Structure 1
Amino acid sequence: MEEQVRLNKYMASCGIGSRRHCDTLIRAGKVCVNGQHPELGQKITPGKDTVEYEGRPLVPSPEDTHLILHKPRGVIVSAYDPHNPYTVYDLLKEKGITVPGLQYVGRLDKDSEGLLLFTTRGDLNNALTHPRFEIKKEYSVLVADEIPDTVIARVLSRGIVSEGELLRAGRILRRDSTSEGVWYTVTLYEGKNRQIRRMVSTMGTRVLRLIRHQFATLRLGDVSYGEYRYLTGREIRGICRKVHLS
């Protein structure tokens, strides 16, 4: 007898997202099994049943893929953007990377650069971006003007409100001053939209460069600008342990 699996588990193995997210897509009518809308909890037989998401057949990757990209400035983190057609997927495709189900984990805005993680594991992506795990992210930030120590201390103790939203940083450390501006190391444990740029603006200056060099247990290291590398087995086990996955 051929082994059956739950539909949401099968979809997660195809890189669509967590099982809970897949259930949401099933409820929304975006999934078909053999041409019919399935029920929640339905089981399928991989290789025999045809599963489609928004009209696209879903096939699991033969093995999981995990890589980090040194994202350049000016490249959009999106699968498609009609206003900015050149995306991280176009960059990877130019380098011969066309892995089905490959997802970016979190985002960097167009003008930011540095470490961007990709994985084919939807459950890992969902866990690493879930607020409850408070994943560490560390950045080198060049700002136009020095930020007073009293302002930094206040932000670290109370947070700072921007656009009606409370933003917090784990650490803000002044490094050195250059002819361009002042460099800081900023550590976050949350991932709100354009968070560092908004915090810096509220503190009275502006970001000139923003480079992410750490995400969870991963470091950018010597990955060249615009290049990528695959994760080692040890690195994969490390990030999975962070979010209690095997």
Structure 2
Amino acid sequence: MVGKRLLVTPRFGLARVLSKRGLCSRTEAQRLIRAGLVRLDGRVIDDPEFPVRDMHTARIDIENSRAVAATSRYLMLNKPRGLVTTTRDEQGRDTVYRCFEGAQLGWIAPVGRLDKASEGLLLFTNAPAWAAQITDPANGPDKTYHVQVDAIPDAPVLAAMQAGVVEGGEFLRAKSVLLLRAGEKHAWLEIVLDEGRNRQIRRLLTALNLNVLRLVRVAIGPLALGDLPKGQWRELSVQEVAVLGGDD
């Protein structure tokens, strides 16, 4: 007689469950739990890794309020130059959350980041699994940038961007590079990346003696920035969410 295979429901730590419910970041969840502000099935839990038997049915309360799963949100922002991609900045600089002032969105987190001097398409969500698909270095969608540089790169330099260079102990390359237009001293390039390393484009171009004047992300996979005004945001459609990574 063949025995029946038992189905084991995976257990997640309490902090991860709060994050997966779209209520806060895992770091914030850990802080709340350690502060004794979270109850699981009526019991105060102070261990962020305390296993939750069923993340969907467990009763969780934060500061005496029921922690029900938040409605999944998926947003795109046209990030202006000069804003930091972080929730809080220790130096007191303006962050991307300034663009959402007055909106009742609950907790949302950036999907990846753009540095302070960069502009363009930046995604936000409260669905961690969806965000992980977008930022996955192996399987995430390509990112497309329009980059203004302080010279007119010739064909060998464009080829070198795709061949790659070693900078700071890392191999940096672009998936594709296209010269969009050129003036007397400056040029605009379209650069596509299929991986995401810290300040990758700036470091790659600096290694090839090109300085970046402007850097604008114009697309993530098939999702284009389009004519969304600078500093403005909008919700993604169901179709856009699905084509980028599916619903969480």
TM-score, structure 2 normalization:
0.80
CA contact (8 A) 1:70 1:114 kept: yes
Determine if contact 1:14/1:59 at 8 Å carries over to the other structure: no
Q: Aligned AA for 1:36?
A: I
Partner of 2:205: 200
Percent identity, aligned pairs only?
30
- Does the 8 Å contact 2:151/2:185 carry over to 1? no
Match of 1:14 among 12, 22, 25: 22
Partner of 1:113: 119
Name 1:97's counterpart in structure 2.
103
Match of 2:161 in 1: 155
Structure 2 counterpart SS, 1:110: coil
Unpaired segments ≥5 residues, structure 2: 1-10
Number of corresponding residues: 228
Alpha-carbon contact 2:52-2:58 (below 8 Å) kept: no
The Cα shift of 1:240 comes to: 2.0
1:133 matched residue in structure 2: 139
- CA distance in 2: counterparts of 1:227 and 1:11, whole angstroms: 26
CA contact (8 A) 1:15 1:103 kept: no
Instruction: Tell me how far apart the structure 2 counterparts of residues 100 and 135 of structure 1 sit (CA, whole Å).
Output: 26
Runs of 4+ aligned residues of structure 1 deviating over 4 Å after TM superposition are: 28-32, 44-47
- Are the counterparts in 1 of residues 76 and 122 from structure 2 also a CA contact under 8 Å? yes
Confirm whether residue 35 of structure 1 aligns to residue 40 of structure 2: no
- Residue 182 of structure 2 corresponds to 177
Q: Identify the match of residue 234 of structure 1 among 219, 239, 243.
A: 239
Q: Is the 8 A contact 1:61 1:100 kept in 2?
A: no
Distance in 2 between residues matched to 1:166 and 1:144, nearest whole Å: 23
**Deviation (angstroms), 1:82:** 2.1
Whichever of the two has the greater Rg, that structure is 2
Contact preservation (8 Å) 2:85, 2:114 = yes
Equivalence for 2:8? none
- Whether the 8 Å contact between 2:141 and 2:244 is mirrored in structure 1 is no
Aligned to 2:81: 73
- Paired with 1:136 and 1:236, the residues of 2 have a C-alpha distance of 15
What CA distance in whole angstroms lies between the structure 2 residues aligned with 1:11 and 1:120?
8
- The answer to whether the Cα contact below 8 Å between 2:133 and 2:245 also exists between their aligned partners in 1 is no
Is 2:95 the counterpart of 1:87?
yes
CA contact (8 A) 1:16 1:122 kept: no
Q: Distance in 1 between matches of 2:56 and 2:62?
A: 10
**What whole-Å deviation, never above 9, does each CA across 1:199-226 have from its counterpart, x for those lacking one?**
1100111000000000122110110111
In structure 2, the partner of 1:49 is 60
Distance 1:234 1:139 in 2: 23
Instruction: Give the root-mean-square deviation of aligned CA atoms.
Output: 3.0
Q: Output the amino acid matched with 2:178.
A: L
**Which secondary structure does the structure 1 equivalent of 2:138 belong to?**
helix
- Secondary structure of 2:132's partner? helix
Q: What is the TM-score of this pair, normalised by structure 1?
A: 0.80
Q: Give the whole-Å Cα distance in 2 for the aligned partners of 1:183 and 1:58.
A: 52
